[in-house]
Amino acid sequence: MSVSEQAIKQHLNQVIIPELGKGLVDAGWVKQCEITDSKVNLRILSSFPCSSQHSTYEQQVNQQIRAVTDLSVNFEWGTMISAHQHKAGVSALQGVKNIIAVASGKGGVGKSTTSVNLALALVAEGAKVGLLDGDIYGPSQPIMLGKKGSRPETLDQKRIMPVEHYGVQSMSIGYLVDPEQAMVWRGPMASGALQQLINDTQWQDLDYLIVDLPPGTGDIQLTLSQKVPVTAALIVTTPQDIALADAVKAMNMFDKVSVPVLGVVENMGVHVCSNCGHAEHIFGEGGGQSLANDANIDFLGSLPLAKSIRDDADNGKPSVVADPDGAIAIIYKGIARKMAASLSLKAKDYGQSFPNITITND
């Protein structure tokens, strides 16, 4: 039975990308649809990393294609992650397409744990990812990544190479000082150190650089927002009213410096007793969702209050790598896809690909 390319694409568009709410064709993912005597060759280029979902999409595509033809389908997958616009007046960071700041406003809500697991989730989905520990006074990423005591290589006593583990390129003040050394610095010194960490690190072709910010809305946050080409931000909170109040302050700060907020992640949403299975909302219920609704931004997902998340991070093997097919890892991957999908819809930074034009008098 002969079939036209138009008929194939009509059925392909019935396969919906949940993070975008669009069909494969409307989303612009179908780059080639070639029909031969024996098969349909499809080249699909996703706009955000979603490797874990390829098999699901293939099953849905095969189901749709069987409705119009008996031809088999050959898939060729790829990902095209674009650089997106950041605030004017700040130069792009070499080797980095997009910078996502992870903030909370309040300490102790699991922001660092969220940052490292989202970075690892993006790697698992097929992206090239870096992680910058923005907490100068209390760096925690070397421990969470299992690289405590590591020292980065230097190229010329100024430029430094990121420390790589689990596929993530990372940098932290914790790699440069003794673990027990206290950073007794005033705000401007800490801000200067953060700028050095960002600009002197030789990031290698990153799709995303995740920046784990310290709590609050002080010098470090302002330095990052005003002097670093931050593409977007992510807010982490618990359902507790006190945490929500500080999260609102963090969102307002990003609004003042023209950095879009991609969404809200809720930590410690519910505790399930490991003995009896009783579920209890220890810190309140629905706070993250309400915060997202009030701010008219996406609610990206909720993580439970689970001992395994803490244990995995403390042991230097976060949940996404400790149990990549487990329930916690699946939640983190879902949040990472939603975050990346939301960013993919933002305006592209075409200026990065424009040639330099010079005019001379010949």
Pairwise CA distance, residues 332 & 306, whole Å: 14
The reply to whether the predicted model has a pTM over 0.75 is yes
Structural Rg of the chain based on CA atoms: 22
In contact, 233 and 262? CB cutoff 8 Å? yes
pLDDT at 360 over 50: no
pLDDT at 39 over 50: yes
What integer is the mean pLDDT of 51-71? 95
Pairwise CA distance, residues 167 & 90, whole Å: 28
What integer is the mean pLDDT of 20-42? 95
The band of 351, judged by pLDDT with boundaries at 50, 70 and 90, is low
Q: Write down the mean pLDDT value for the chain.
A: 89
User: Residue 75 forms beta bridges with which residues?
Assistant: 42
Number of helices (H) and strands (E) in the chain: give both, helices first: 11, 15
The band of 187, judged by pLDDT with boundaries at 50, 70 and 90, is low
Residues of the chain within CATH 3.30.300.130 domain(s) are: 5-79
**Under CATH, which number does the domain 96-344 receive?**
3.40.50.300
Buried residues in 244-272 as b, exposed as e (16+ CB within 10 A): bebbbebbebbeeeebbbbbbbbbbbbbe
pLDDT at 357 over 80: no
Lowest mean pLDDT among 125-134, 283-292, 318-327: 283-292
**Residue 199: is it exposed, middle or buried by C-beta count within 10 angstroms (0-12/13-18/19+)?**
middle
* DSSP per-residue string spanning 293-312: HHHT-EEEEE----HHHHHH
Q: Enter the tokens of residue 163.
A: 């420390």
Q: Enter the tokens of residue 2.
A: 């002969």
In contact, 123 and 129? CB cutoff 8 Å? yes
What crossing angle do the helices spanning 111-124 and 307-314 adopt, rounded to 10°? 80
Helix (H, G, I), strand (E, B) or coil at 226: helix
pLDDT at 362 over 60: no
**What tens digit of pLDDT does each residue of 216-254 get?**
777 788 778 777 899 999 999 999 999 999 999 999 989
pLDDT at 314 over 60: yes
Q: Does domain 5-79 have CATH number 2.30.110.10?
A: no
**DSSP assignment letter at 213:** P
**DSSP assignment letter at 46:** E
pLDDT at 353 over 60: no
Buried residues in 69-80 as b, exposed as e (16+ CB within 10 A): bebebeeebebe
Q: Beta strands of 121-275 (E only): which ranges?
A: 129-133, 163-165, 168-171, 206-212, 232-237, 261-266, 271-272
pLDDT at 48 over 90: yes
The band of 195, judged by pLDDT with boundaries at 50, 70 and 90, is confident
Backbone angles phi, psi at 22, to 5 degrees: -130, 160
Distances (CA, A) of 145 to 78, 113, 213, 275, 313: 28, 10, 16, 30, 8
What integer is the mean pLDDT of 126-147? 93
Residues of the chain within CATH 3.40.50.300 domain(s) are: 96-344
Give pLDDT, residue 356.
44
Give pLDDT, residue 280.
86
